[in-house]
Amino acid sequence: MNATDYDVIVIGGGQAGLATAYYLRRAGLSFVILDAGEAAGGAWVHTWDSLHLFSPAAFSSLPGWPMPAGDSDAFPTRDAVIDYLTRYEQRYGFAIERPCVVEAVEPVMDGLQVRLTTGRRLTTSAVVSATGTWSAPFVPTYPGQDQFRGIQLHSAFYQSPEPFRDKRVLVIGGGNSGAQIFAELAPVAAATWVTLQEPVFLPDDVDGRVLFERASARVRGEDGPAGFGDIVMVPPVKAARDRGILHAVRPFERFTPDGVIWPDGTASPVGAVIWCTGFRPETAHLQLLGCVESDGRIEVVDQRAVAQPRLWLAGYGNWTGAASATLIGAGRTARELAPRISDALVSEIRHAPVA
């Protein structure tokens, strides 16, 4: 095996990248994290100001160092998570280069080459792509959408309710982001929550730990507990329920220039639409490896790309490990990932031809 700059290059310095780094160090592998962000925090720096975690701090930690519990809030805020991730990488002193944007990863003799937008090139025996999904927001297509003159904003770019004060707003999406954003918009705007099905909520005394266990069960092919929803009753959502406004309606049929038409033919004026409709994997930088599918996913077995065995994936969702897009899930999947990479590199050396 020829010499490379690193045993492993980790692309992405958010929670999945940091958890992977923790276990790569324990495995004795040389690595660097390349992060496109200006500062620590990964995708959390782009979330809305009032976002709350779905689980308490004790169940939202990366390996080695628990997230400090807040003084009064059982569900840590977005700012608390950013502070934790910042201090976490400082605590362990990982080699992180930022801002550092990866343009492409391509195969070279006995390894992979990572090409940066600056023109710099690094070689490595393996790549862990941990860029997540934030930079690939998904917006569904509706008839007349391109004619709508109001504001359309994905939740990835939503910050606070103030720009929407006194507007007629549709919040579209039945997950936790839709519930939280609707809950804080409703007091200041004429907001309507639009979901495909009637949203189902977790009981007040159940938090995101249940979501993690359910995701793990699905990956194992098991059925989750009956009678549970997916929306966690964090404080803003509870407050909306207690005010009697936490209700959703089924989707409209089409846009008009000034609003939407509902299934019964009723026309409603709308000034803004906030799409809480999820994300796709950000894997454009892996296109030259010939393994990216049309939806951005990559076929993997145990987090290893089937079509490119030097490529590993972390943090994109259940297909790269149970609940791997969560803080607790990132750590658990990284614990399995690093030994797999180490074993693969040892096997490569063992079977390399003798010069």
Query: Would the pLDDT of 84 be above 90?
Result: yes
User: Does some domain include residue 58?
Assistant: yes
User: Does some domain include residue 211?
Assistant: yes
Q: Are 192 and 206 members of one domain? A: yes
User: Does some domain include residue 316?
Assistant: yes
User: Does some domain include residue 355?
Assistant: no
Q: Percentage of the chain with pLDDT > 90?
A: 71
Q: Are 192 and 243 members of one domain? A: yes
Give the tokens for residue 74.
């059982």
User: Does some domain include residue 1?
Assistant: no
The reported pLDDT for the residue numbered 50 is: 84
The reported pLDDT for the residue numbered 205 is: 72
pLDDT digits (tens, 9 = 90+) for 34-44: 999 999 999 99
The reported pLDDT for the residue numbered 166 is: 96
Q: Are 197 and 108 members of one domain? A: no
Q: Are 11 and 107 members of one domain? A: yes
Q: Where residue 340 falls among pLDDT bands split at 50, 70, 90?
A: very high
The reported pLDDT for the residue numbered 190 is: 97
Which 3 state secondary structure label does DSSP give 52? strand
Q: Are 256 and 305 members of one domain? A: no
Helix 176-185 vs helix 235-242: crossing angle, to nearest 10: 60
In whole numbers, what is the pLDDT of the chain averaged over residues? 88
Query: Would the pLDDT of 1 be above 50?
Result: no
Chain centre distance of CA 7: 26
* Cα(30)–Cα(185) distance, integer angstroms: 47
The reported pLDDT for the residue numbered 349 is: 57
Q: Are 211 and 260 members of one domain? A: yes
Residue ending a domain, choose from 275, 307, 339 = 275
- 77-81, 117-121, 237-241, 351-355: segment of lowest average pLDDT: 351-355
Contacting residues for 98 by C-beta, under 8 A, at least 6 apart? 13, 34, 35, 36, 37, 38, 39
157: buried, middle or exposed (CB in 10 Å: 19+, 13-18, 0-12)? exposed
Query: Would the pLDDT of 219 be above 70?
Result: no
The reported pLDDT for the residue numbered 135 is: 85
The reported pLDDT for the residue numbered 348 is: 74
Q: Are 303 and 250 members of one domain? A: no
Enter the DSSP assignment of 252. Answer: P
Q: Are 263 and 164 members of one domain? A: yes
The reported pLDDT for the residue numbered 214 is: 57
Query: Would the pLDDT of 49 be above 80?
Result: yes
Which 3 state secondary structure label does DSSP give 116? strand
pLDDT digits (tens, 9 = 90+) for 143-188: 999 999 999 999 999 999 999 999 999 999 999 899 999 999 999 9
User: Does some domain include residue 44?
Assistant: yes
- Parent domain of 270: 145-275
* Cα(62)–Cα(303) distance, integer angstroms: 19
User: Does some domain include residue 38?
Assistant: yes
Q: Are 188 and 240 members of one domain? A: yes
CATH number for the domain spanning 243: value is 3.50.50.60
| Range 310-334 average pLDDT | 91
User: Does some domain include residue 292?
Assistant: yes
Query: What is the total count of domains within the chain?
Result: 2
Q: Where residue 207 falls among pLDDT bands split at 50, 70, 90?
A: low
Q: Percentage of the chain with pLDDT > 70?
A: 89
User: Distances from the Cα of 44 to the Cαs of 16, 21, 48, 157, 159, in angstroms?
Assistant: 12, 18, 9, 12, 12
Query: Would the pLDDT of 208 be above 80?
Result: no
More confident residue, 56 or 134: 134
Query: Would the pLDDT of 206 be above 80?
Result: no
Residue ending a domain, choose from 275, 303, 336 = 275
The reported pLDDT for the residue numbered 266 is: 97
Q: Are 191 and 295 members of one domain? A: no
Q: Are 78 and 172 members of one domain? A: no
Q: Are 235 and 333 members of one domain? A: no
The reported pLDDT for the residue numbered 211 is: 57
Residue ending a domain, choose from 257, 275, 293 = 275
The reported pLDDT for the residue numbered 325 is: 86
Return the closest-CA partner of residue 184 out of 146, 155, 149.
155
CB 203 within 8 A of CB 196: no
